[in-house]
Structure 1
Amino acid sequence: YIIEIKNKDQTIGIFPFYLYKRTLAGMSIYVLKPIGSGESDYLTPVISKKYATEVTLQSVFSRLHEEKKTWDYIDWGEIPENSFLDTVLRKQSYLGKLLFKRKKSDICPFINFTDNSDDFKIKLNKNLMKEIIKKDRRLKKEGKLVFSIVQSDQEIEPIMNTFFTFHCERWSNTDTPSKYRNKEERDYAIRTAKNLFKSNLLHLAYLKYNNEIIAIDFGMTDGKKLYLYLHAINIKYKKYSVGQLLTYYLIEHAFKEGYQIVDFLRGDEDYKKKWGTDENFNVKYMIFNQSIKSKILYTLYKIRHSKTFNQPFILKRISYLATEDK
């Protein structure tokens, strides 16, 4: 279910959805979701900067309204709070053609360098800084520690292959083994990295110690923001906290290069807070049309997510009844 927006013969926007069917109380319900739902940290459409974003989005929702017989609701999550998409969707909700419900979902920690601080270190956890300085000095005393960023297409595959090795070793004896054991996943990641590089969006960085790679970060950048997507470490050097060391070098690099944001992406893990992060949220939109079925679903959704429905005693009763049914 791909929506393409054109100005004459030129594509100015692509909205990749997929349509699937679910059943509720014997009723077939057709749901639209963006491709990548559940897997992506952020889900925003591809829109040309040469054209007014709001106008492009309005044309999309006009088309969705015209085709309302093909879908019952849209489930669109992973939208960055206060992003252009969030802002436009809020405006669309007042137009009355479609029914919107918005709620916050995942926390997305980030470091903001636009607060005029002359030293990013003042925001970092003091104990973390002491540990980093200690490990950094120890490694440099015993050998040569070098921070590098991939600069050529030829570097990508060997660095990524080392990344896969580290990632598989790290998660080999856990309940969540690395997806990179699968050749298809490895090939896909390499293709993605190369395509990102061609578009000047790849930020593949690593630490070398005495000419041996000890940590790798597979990240992205748009020139203003650095996205820390996934890292892997050489477990032989685990006692040196090389993952934290690499993160520190990445933050320092971003600060010196004039980046505005270092984005840790979604997830409120405790380790992210130690880096002096602020919090942003992803938001989720449930969008319903004006058909009878969709209005019923809209009403049920509002009831399910109301404060009254979510009182502990009601949830406990529902849980008890569900147990009885079994």
Structure 2
Amino acid sequence: MKIAFFGSSLVSAYWNGAATYYRGIIRALHNLGHEITFYEPDAYGRQENRDIPDPDWARVVVYPGEGETGVRQALAEARGVDLVVKASGVGVFDELLEAAVLELQGPRTRVAFWDVDAPATLDRVQHDPADPFRACIPRYDVIFTYGGGDPVVDAYTALGARLCVPIYNALDPETHHPVPADPRFAVDLAFLGNRLPDREARMESFFLVAAAALPELRFLLGGSGWGDKSMPANVQYVGHVYTRDHNALNCSALAVLNISRDSMARYGFSPATRVFEAAGAGACIITDAWEGIEQFLAPGREILVAENGAEVARILRDLDEPRARAIGEAARQRVLEAHTYAHRAAQVEAVLAGRDASARRATG
């Protein structure tokens, strides 16, 4: 297939948490023989903060982030391909693209909406019946989501979606894998995450509370936007951590912390990209509790689960290096066997070919 993909950015993870997901899915689809062009806007300083060059597994087209001429030209170029994908959260021209890609639909062109933040999208349209995207939902051939399970599928189906299928985050073993430890990241607990309104309170509860309770241990915080945040003295803030350093960080900390955003935790079945990239590096992961964890990793054996910061502190007090290594290795084996982007790309192919028995079509 020839696929035209409209998303936030493939070449930059700067203020772009979906980058790892896009890269994994698109590289895996390319490996299956598909030809992908990724259209992204020049916006939010992402082009100035690229962390990969244009890849050989996708063609990248960057259009201006201001004025409609560039995005209209990109849409015109995409006409006639086999599949057009509009991802959520492009950041500019979202409303325009949500409607305009549907104009490309035809006998040989299917159009998909790929929701990389379904809880946010659903909350928005459910609370605003006049939201323009609401009327677009029934017109898409398929809605893919990167998480949410039955709650998200049920919600999209109720809004008229023809077909809604979660394509979960996963591991790209070529990108995330074990590497030698790096002294820069040699801490007891590391957390990576940009500062967002529906993450901050949970970060305070799970990370800063644990750090304050364990002044003898070392904590590391990475991600954009936390510079003016008050933190315990044993927390080292390192700012944005580029993708090239994620393996080193995951292999150097005794444990790494996953904290879901409020909306993701509420819907459940929404493992973050960080979970799989950390597991792929053999990291011992401590995660906040959310419904559906066991579908991806076994609590207590492949991942450690905490209800709050006090439990994170208790886990760290009892965690030694041999146990952390054993948990990390078990997680790595599990994701390699069942949760790589090769698995996800095969599922996408099966859905588009009508061969995925798990896909739920709306019934009249």
Which TM-score applies when normalising by structure 2?
A: 0.28
Larger CA Rg, structure 1 vs 2? 1
Higher strand fraction: Structure 1 or Structure 2? 1
Which TM-score applies when normalising by structure 1?
A: 0.30
